[in-house]
Structure 1
């Protein structure tokens, strides 16, 4: 990564999480026992704050900051309709060459954290990127995403962006 697309981004203070990590409903085993000891598949509802908490600490691939600190993602940019989660993100500059990588990192984080019943759509904020349609198409095409995740260098880069994702808005320990 020799070219820096935004050498001097604006950094914002993270917002305090409104929920304790134990409040997350899908972290527990989805197969719960009923009073008779039988396993019951329960579908727990989730909200935009829970999704935001999962992605807020993803690291930007160019800077030592989280996507939340760069205001690339925010809770109002997330919508949930039934089992469909739509995450809209805003690159820091309209010509950001890292937009596809950022979107892929968001997708991988949510695929790992959410139950399989959720459909995940990742899109750029309308008008925020010069190649908006092409990036959106790449991020939401199963075959393209699968092909990208077969590239070991790209997977390693995605893993680097996800190193602090489990912090959920908490500062990294030094």
Structure 2
């Protein structure tokens, strides 16, 4: 089983590999898929390029759900979203995929950089042991420790244990 620090490292690696999350306001509205923009200098923060008319542009309490490409890592992130149109950050995170959505480029009048600050997270990693996989394949009973790792964390910073 991985410890909390390892799980957090795995989260950021998996998110970088497949940067798509479902994110929505906690007021009962539906979540929507967005492509995460990651900045290694920002702890507990994920950015998204959205239109100013996007339902999340108003900000507020937000939840994001992530499933890794291999379906071996899951995360639920709680935090606060707000528009933060810092041009330096827009310039740093800009890429060809974003440009495809905003034909006016970095100065597109509809462009908004959504900043999602993570308050806490819950993560699951299915690092099932070989014995556990064999048991599951043949209908055997899976015991604690066979199924994977789980962490409830107050920060997703990789260098802290909590």
TM-score (structure 2 length as normaliser): 0.29
Query: If each structure's helix is expressed as a fraction of its own residues, which one has the higher value?
Result: 1
**Higher alpha-carbon Rg:** 2
TM-score (structure 1 length as normaliser): 0.28
Query: If each structure's strand is expressed as a fraction of its own residues, which one has the higher value?
Result: 2
